[in-house]
């Protein structure tokens, strides 16, 4: 009998392990994520020619870039897709969530900065927009189900976040698309939530270059809104030398979430915010500054 009781006790113990793990992940999610996020290196370089060094933050300046009601830090210098609707009659209207009709289709309207040509992204299709009406179909991405974000780089290049059609659930990817032939290149297979922190374009004054910061992965410090941070910030440079773009460095969350970039001499200086979400006690951290050269 004692052997039987021992066997039953072992089986009960084994059965309780998944429950204990789940409970620990729910209760200690912040501590577990904190531990995971601080492992490994602060950054990764994309080429042996790229150099990176940290600049001193002598004043211990804190830049709390993510506010609950102020997301200006996410604004791009270049146009992004504006949420619109395509009516059943083919008219393009502003998105009014409380005045939607059953046959309205969500759409993203992108105005190309130099030509002012407007593109409309509906479902997995890209159209030319003619005034307030739908123009000719330019391309259909059969591998996508829908678009959730689009960002202008130049007249030939855009960034899009789209969900793959092969999955029933939302499975987003970040792509660079060439508008001349709609060929595409995968940039991230795990983009961070674009509604919270979309890819960001920066056009430094007096420069022909565009700096793009995009975010991947997810560190959850809690449950619900404003409780996570991207695992990685990737810095991509578009310039006369790199017409199709060139990835320079990836700053891991350990090194801070990159929120800004500027040219300083022959280097690009990155501003990174290592602050934790609002769900974390003692959340403020001094900003970190990285100088990138060799590109």
Contact predicate 221/29, CB 8 Å: yes
The whole-number pLDDT of residue 2 equals 67
3-state SS class at 160: strand
The whole-number pLDDT of residue 7 equals 56
Tens digits of per-residue pLDDT, 243-258?
999 999 999 999 999 9
Tens digits of per-residue pLDDT, 158-180?
999 999 999 988 999 999 999 99
Tens digits of per-residue pLDDT, 65-105?
665 445 678 899 999 999 999 998 889 998 887 677 778 99
The DSSP result for 23-60, as a single string, is: HHHHHSHHHHHHHHHTSS-SEEESSTT-EEEEEP-TT-
d(CA 50, CA 34): 29
Q: Collect the ranges in the chain with pLDDT lower than 50.
A: 18-25, 68-69
- DSSP 8-state secondary structure symbol assigned to residue 226: T
Beta strands in 142-242 (DSSP E): 144-154, 157-164, 172-178, 184-188, 200-202, 210-216, 219-220, 228-229, 232-238
161 to 80, 112, 171, 215: CA distances (angstroms): 12, 17, 10, 12
Residue with tokens 């993203």: 108
């Amino acid at each position: 009998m004692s052997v039987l009781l021992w066997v039953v006790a072992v089986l009960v113990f084994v059965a309780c392990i998944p429950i204990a793990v789940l409970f620990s992940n729910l209760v200690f999610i912040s501590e577990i994520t904190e531990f995971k996020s601080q492992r490994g290196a602060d950054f990764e370089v994309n080429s042996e020619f790229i150099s990176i060094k940290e600049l001193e933050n002598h004043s211990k300046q804190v830049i709390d870039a993510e506010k609950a009601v102020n997301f200006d830090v996410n604004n791009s210098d270049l146009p992004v897709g504006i949420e619109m609707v395509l009516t059943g009659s083919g008219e393009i209207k502003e998105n009014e969530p409380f005045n939607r009709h059953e046959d309205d289709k969500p759409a993203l309207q992108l105005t190309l900065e130099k030509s002012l040509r407007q593109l409309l992204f509906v479902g997995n299709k890209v159209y030319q927009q003619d005034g307030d009406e739908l123009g000719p179909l330019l391309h259909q991405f059969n591998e996508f189900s829908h678009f959730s974000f689009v960002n202008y780089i130049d007249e030939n290049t855009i960034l899009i976040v789209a969900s793959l059609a092969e999955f029933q659930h939302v499975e987003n990817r970040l792509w660079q698309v060439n508008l001349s032939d709609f060929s595409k290149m995968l940039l991230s297979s795990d983009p961070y939530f674009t509604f919270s922190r979309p890819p960001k374009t920066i056009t430094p004054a007096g420069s022909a270059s565009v700096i793009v910061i995009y975010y991947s992965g997810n560190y959850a410090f809690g449950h619900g809104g404003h409780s996570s941070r991207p695992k990685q910030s990737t810095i991509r440079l578009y310039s006369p030398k790199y017409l199709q773009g060139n990835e320079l460095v990836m700053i891991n969350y350990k090194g801070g979430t990159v929120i800004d970039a500027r040219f300083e001499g022959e280097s690009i200086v990155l501003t990174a915010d290592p602050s934790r979400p609002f769900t974390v006690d003692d959340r403020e951290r001094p900003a970190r500054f990285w100088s990138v050269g060799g590109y």
